[in-house]
Amino acid sequence: MSASPVPGAAPAPGLGRDLIALTKPRIISLLLVTTAAPMYAAGSPSIWTVLLVMLGGYLMAGGANAVNMYLDRDIDDIMARTRLRPIPSGRMSPQQVLAFGVACAAAATWMLAFFVNVLTAALALAGFYFYVFIYTRWLKRSSPQNIVIGGAAGAFPPLVGWAAVTGSLDIVALTLFLIVFYWTPPHFWALALMKQVDYGRAGVPMAPLVWGERETMYQMLWYTVILLVLTALPWWVGAFGLLYLASAIILGALLLGGILQMLRAARAGTPWSGPAWWVYKYSLLYLALLFVAMAVDRALAR
């Protein structure tokens, strides 16, 4: 694909803004919350360590997002919500985007390994490879389970944060990984339900296109039920106290209620897009507040 401007395209925002856009900063902000909160839950890290891990995490996730845009450049040109990205709009060449993504990942690996510890760097790099090769390259265009298995890439940040402070992993870290893993399908399928026309046009077999809307909603329900059980495990193993447990119950009840409302609308034949959009937006807040509750609970217990 040529890097020449596309006729009628939006005005170029500038190279700096394009490079930032390649990293998908709004998505990364949630990943950073699920990295930082486990650090404070695991111990009392210095502000220097937190800043280094945040920067390294941003660079690693941003590099993965940039490589994702390189690999998806053909379908990004088809989908309405992605056609203004730097490659399909013609503002950057695919080679530039790939080089930027690889450079970010390499810088993050060196920074985390040299200034934090090797385990932290290895876990962050594993998340990068999982997202790029398992999700984007393999599963995204081949299976409706793409976001289930591939979503594990987004569950690495809690492990990164935990390892940065403790230098190891334990049952609590694994529980945090599973919480994000089971949160991902209901969160992303809410978006897929609303954007299924775009995905269909691009030939991406997202769940609503393969299973149908109603079955996708039922799958969201069952994953959410499992998620709510998993959120109680850190309390059950003694990692967090009652403040965290109460937060998990209240936040989880709201998420479950939103999905049930969406299902009721679908069964009644009334518009479900409003509840689906609410579930998508609330699920972002849900995960952030859940992880903040972990850090606050542990801080109050010290």
Structure confidence at residue 9 as a pLDDT band (50, 70, 90): very low
DSSP 3-state percent helix, strand, coil across the chain (nearest 5):
80, 0, 20
Residue 8 has pLDDT above 70, yes or no: no
Structure confidence at residue 27 as a pLDDT band (50, 70, 90): confident
Residue 111 has pLDDT above 60, yes or no: yes
- pLDDT reported for residue 80: 81
- Segments making up each domain of the chain, as ranges: 1-168, 170-302
| Rounded average pLDDT over 57-80 | 93
Under a CB-based contact definition with an 8 Å cutoff, are residues 262 and 279 in contact? yes
Any idea which fold 1-168 has? Tetracycline Repressor; domain 2 (1.10.357)
Residue 199 has pLDDT above 50, yes or no: yes
Structure tokens belonging to residue 89: 């709009």
The helix or strand, by DSSP H or E, that contains position 132, with its residue range, turns out to be none
Average pLDDT of the chain is: 92
Tokens 């119950």 appear where?
A: 249
- pLDDT reported for residue 6: 41
- pLDDT reported for residue 7: 42
Structure confidence at residue 13 as a pLDDT band (50, 70, 90): low
Under a CB-based contact definition with an 8 Å cutoff, are residues 105 and 64 in contact? yes
| Rounded average pLDDT over 91-112 | 97
Under a CB-based contact definition with an 8 Å cutoff, are residues 60 and 109 in contact? yes
Give the pTM. Answer: 0.91
- Of 99-108, 131-140, 180-189, least confident by mean pLDDT is 131-140
